[in-house]
Amino acid sequence: MKTTKRKSPFDIDEKNYKRYDERKHPFCKTAADKKYRYYNRDIEEKMSEILKERKPGYSRMDYALDSAAWTLYETFKLIPEERIRGLGEHESYKSLPKYNVENREKMSKIIKRAASFFGASLTGIAHLDERWVYLYDCDGNKIEIPKEYRYAIVMAIEMDPVALGSSPSVTSATGTALGYSQNTFLVMHLGEFIKSLGHHVIKMVNDTALSIPLAIDAGLGQLGRNGLLITEEYGPRVRICKIFTDLPLKVDHPIDFGVTDFCKKCKECAEACEADAISFDDEPSFETKCSTNNPGVKKWYIDGEKCYDFWYENSMDCATCITVCPFSKIKLNEPEDFWDG
C-alpha cells in the first residue's frame, strides 16, 4: 500500500479544545480523587480469587512474569531525575564542548540510529506542538515546557505478538508490561546520549504529554477506531515513549496509509471489546463518551471508564482491541502457547 504525506491529520475545534488535564485520567484519579470509585485501589486486587479459578492465562507463573516485566518501569519512577547519571561516568566528560549541529538531516539520522541501537522499533521526529502537552500533571502541577525544547523525538517499541495473542489474560498483559520497561530503558539511554552531546532533554513515557498525537505528528502512524496509534509495520501493537529536546533536528511529517477509511468499515475491535468501550459509529465525530475524554478533536472516542471497569473485573489490563486489529498481524492463541515457546 502506497504511503503519502498530508498536511494535518487532525480535525480540531479550536473553540472547544484545551490541553488535557492528566488528573482526568483513571490512572491519576485512583491516586488523587477520593470520590472516584477506584480511589486507592489496585487493579490486581482480585488476583488471589482469580488464581483459585485456575483459568488459562491466569496462573501463578503468569502473575510472576507480569510482575517481573514491570521491573524497570516501576523502579525508574522511584528514582529522582537528578540521581540519573549524566554526561559520562567521569568528571572529565563535563569539560567536553557542546556538539554543534551543522546538518540537521544528518543529526536526525544519527538520533534514529542511536534510538534503534537502544531498542526502538520505530522513531520519528516532530516539531513540538504545545497542544499535546498536559495542562496539569497527576499532582495538579501546571506543566510548562520551555520554548527552547522545539523538537519531540517519538519512539515506539513492538510488543510480543504471541503474548498479546491470548488477550484478555495475564499472559497478554506481560507484553504490555515489558513494553513499558523497554520504553524506560530507551528514553533513559537516548536521553543521556543527547545530554552527553551538551544538549537538553525531557524524558517521558506516559507522563508530561499525549503520546499518540505526538507520534502521528512524527509520522509513525494514524489514529484508529480503537483510540490507539496504528503503525504500518506493527499496527497498534506498540508502546510509545518520547523525548523533548533543544537538539536541532530535521522533522518528519504525518502519513496516511488508509487507516481511517479502513476503520470506518472494519469494526473488529468494537465487536471484540468485552467492555463495549469502542464506538460502532461509521464516522468519527466530536461526540465524547465519558468524563476522561478531552473534547475538541474529531475521532472515535473511547469510553475509558468502561474500559477501566473491565480491567478491575478482570484483575488485569486488556489488549483485545490491539490483538484483533488486522494491522497487528497477530495470530490468536491460547495462553499456553506462550509458555510452549
- Average pLDDT over all residues of the chain: 92
The string of pLDDT tens digits covering residues 286-312 is 999 999 999 999 999 999 999 999 999
Nearest to 328 by CA among 236, 216, 266: 236
The secondary structure of 252-280, three-state, reads CCCEECCHHHHHHHHCHHHHHCCCCCCCC
Query: 89 or 96: which carries more pLDDT confidence?
Result: 96
pLDDT score, position 40: 87
340: left (phi over 0), alpha (psi -120 to 50) or beta: alpha
pLDDT range class, residue 80, cuts 50, 70, 90:
low
255-256/222-223 β-pairing: unpaired
Q: Is the pLDDT of residue 3 over 70?
A: no
Q: What's the average model confidence in pLDDT over 21-39?
A: 88
Q: Which of 47-56, 208-217, 244-253 has the lowest mean pLDDT?
A: 47-56
Which one, of 143, 157, 145, 152, lies nearest residue 124 by Cα?
Answer: 152
Cell of 44: 490486581
Q: What is the pLDDT of residue 101?
A: 96
**Per-residue model confidence (pLDDT) at position 1:** 40
Which residues have a Cβ under 8 Å from the Cβ of 231 and sit 6 or more positions away?
122, 156, 220, 221, 238, 327
Q: Is the peptide bond before 284 cis (omega within 30 degrees of 0)?
A: no
> Given pLDDT bands bounded at 50, 70 and 90, which one contains residue 89?
low
Q: What is the pLDDT of residues 228-240, one digit of tens each?
A: 999 999 999 999 9
The Cβ of residue 323 has, within 10 Å, a number of other Cβ atoms equal to 27
What percent of the chain has a predicted confidence (pLDDT) above 70?
94
Mean pLDDT, range 184-189, rounded to an integer:
94
The predicted structure's pLDDT at residue 84:
57
pLDDT in the model for residue 287: 96
pLDDT digits (tens, 9 = 90+) for 322-341: 999 999 999 888 778 888 86
More confident site: 246 or 31:
246
The pTM score is 0.93
Q: How far apart are CA 242 and CA 124, in angstroms?
A: 10
Average pLDDT over residues 51-62: 92
Q: 78: pLDDT confidence band, cut at 50, 70 and 90?
A: low
Per-residue pLDDT tens for 112-127? 999 999 999 999 999 9
Q: What is the chain's percent helix, strand, coil content, to nearest 5?
A: 40, 15, 45
In the predicted model, is pLDDT for residue 143 greater than 90? yes
The residue that leads in pLDDT, 81 or 244, is: 244
Lowest mean pLDDT among 46-50, 78-82, 92-96, 129-133: 78-82
Query: What pLDDT was estimated at residue 2?
Result: 46
